């Protein structure tokens, strides 16, 4: 099987490339390297294509493939240029959609749990989206574009994925936009007490990248055109993260709580409803927070410096 992966040198894209190659797929790894880490593609056999998803001519020159996994996006939610954000994330998506349609290829594209904004949890795919920033809005536009097309069955498969909070190997280049788990690890590795808002009981649905990437690849054999949440279905607290990192690093660093300046607008709980995911994808996420953090810290972060 030939698969085009966009955003392939990014955090999740590179993990997707590895899984596809382990399954014997021939991969075209497309990235413009604007916010990637080329080291993420170390060991990959993929043909690397350095191109911008907004560049129609470059996309038109790509070889025929059986499937496309579209991960490329501006992923920093604090990115200030709304025009560029929507251009890359939405117009770039449409270019990739048109490419898949011309090649009659399956398309799995990446939306985000950000589309739910401050909506109620557990978050269901059917609830009203409330995008709160240009990033969330750009993903919402991709879903709005896709939903009517899903009914028409123009592509052999059109499936959207709403990742929740993904963490794991390959996220180093994201800096301040990397996961809370990576940020807390860096503080604790430096021997500092981990800083979190009072009193660390805010909860998020953290999913290990090995699960998120594996589910993304499994989505290629889904039988329905649809949009699915990709989370664990179990929100966990910042205190839980600190405790799991302490266990993995054999430290005993107490949280350092500070006042949350955004307290009135802050969401204390985001959690995926994964009922639909379990219907669409055979194997739901396998890693608990403790197992994911243990693998990440011991086998990746402590094993080799990024």
Ligand X SMILES: NC(=O)c1ccc[n+]([C@@H]2O[C@H](COP(=O)([O-])OP(=O)(O)OC[C@H]3O[C@@H](n4cnc5c(N)ncnc54)[C@H](O)[C@@H]3O)[C@@H](O)[C@H]2O)c1
**Residue 252 Cβ, how far from ligand X at the closest point, in Å?**
28
20 CB burial (10 A radius; 0-12, 13-18, 19+): buried
> How many other CB atoms are there within 10 angstroms of residue 83's CB atom?
8
**Residue 254 Cβ, how far from ligand X at the closest point, in Å?**
27
For 152-177, letters b (16+ CB in 10 Å) and e give: eeebebbbbbbbbbbbbbbbbbbeeb
In the set 23, 34, 64, 256, which binds ligand X (CB under 6 A)?
34
Closer CB to ligand X, 108 or 157, in the complex: 108
Closer CB to ligand X, 171 or 240, in the complex: 171
Stretch that binds ligand X, among 18-26, 30-38, 221-229, 259-267 (CB under 6 A): 30-38
Torsion angle (degrees, nearest 10) of CA 227, 73, 137, 234: 50
Establish if 163 lies at the interface with ligand X (CB under 6 A).
yes
Q: Please report, as residue ranges, which positions from 51 to 80 form the binding site for ligand X (by CB under 6 A).
A: 52-54, 71-75
Establish if 229 lies at the interface with ligand X (CB under 6 A).
no
In the set 9, 136, 141, 235, which binds ligand X (CB under 6 A)?
9
- Alpha-carbon gap, residue 219 to 250, rounded angstroms: 37
Establish if 92 lies at the interface with ligand X (CB under 6 A).
yes
Establish if 165 lies at the interface with ligand X (CB under 6 A).
yes
**Residue 29 Cβ, how far from ligand X at the closest point, in Å?**
10
In the set 5, 49, 68, 112, which binds ligand X (CB under 6 A)?
112
In the set 3, 25, 29, 31, which binds ligand X (CB under 6 A)?
31
Given 124, 174, 189, 234, which residue is catalytic?
Answer: 174
**Residue 216 Cβ, how far from ligand X at the closest point, in Å?**
9
Establish if 217 lies at the interface with ligand X (CB under 6 A).
no
Given 28, 109, 116, 135, which residue is catalytic?
Answer: 135
Closer CB to ligand X, 88 or 196, in the complex: 88
Catalytic-residue membership of 135: yes
| Minimal CB distance residue for ligand X | 10
**Residue 12 Cβ, how far from ligand X at the closest point, in Å?**
4
**Residue 212 Cβ, how far from ligand X at the closest point, in Å?**
8
Closer CB to ligand X, 53 or 157, in the complex: 53
Contact footprint for ligand X (CB under 6 A): 6-7, 9-13, 31-36, 52-54, 71-75, 88, 92, 110, 112-113, 163, 165-166, 174
The catalytic site residues sit at: 135, 174
């Amino acid at each position: 099987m030939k698969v085009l992966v966009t955003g392939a040198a990014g955090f999740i894209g590179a993990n997707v490339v590895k899984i596809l190659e382990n399954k014997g797929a021939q991969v075209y790894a497309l990235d413009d390297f604007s916010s990637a880490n080329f080291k993420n593609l170390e060991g990959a056999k993929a043909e690397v294509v350095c191109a911008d998803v907004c560049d129609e001519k470059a996309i038109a020159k790509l070889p025929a493939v059986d499937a496309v996994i579209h991960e490329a996006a501006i992923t920093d939610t604090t990115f200030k240029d709304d025009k560029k954000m929507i251009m890359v994330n939405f117009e770039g998506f449409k270019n990739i959609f048109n490419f898949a349609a011309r090649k009659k290829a399956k398309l799995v594209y990446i939306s985000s749990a950000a589309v739910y904004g401050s909506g109620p949890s557990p978050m269901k795919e059917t609830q009203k989206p409330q995008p709160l920033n240009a990033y969330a809005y750009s993903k919402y536009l991709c879903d709005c574009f896709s939903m009517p097309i899903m009914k028409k069955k123009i592509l052999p498969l059109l499936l959207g994925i709403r990742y929740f909070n993904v963490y794991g190997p390959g996220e180093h280049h994201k800096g301040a936009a990397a996961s809370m788990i990576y940020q807390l690890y860096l503080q604790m590795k430096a021997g500092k007490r981990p800083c979190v808002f009072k009193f660390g009981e805010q909860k998020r649905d953290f999913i290990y990248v090995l699960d998120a990437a594996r589910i993304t690849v499994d989505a290629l054999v889904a039988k329905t055109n649809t949009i699915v949440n990709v989370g664990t279905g179990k929100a966990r607290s910042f205190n839980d993260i600190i405790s799991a990192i302490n266990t993995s690093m054999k430290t005993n660093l107490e949280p350092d709580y500070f006042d949350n300046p955004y307290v009135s607008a802050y969401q204390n709980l985001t959690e995926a409803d994964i009922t639909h995911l379990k219907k669409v994808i055979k194997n739901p996420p396998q890693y608990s927070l403790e197992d994911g953090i243990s693998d990440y810290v011991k086998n990746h972060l402590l094993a080799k410096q990024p």
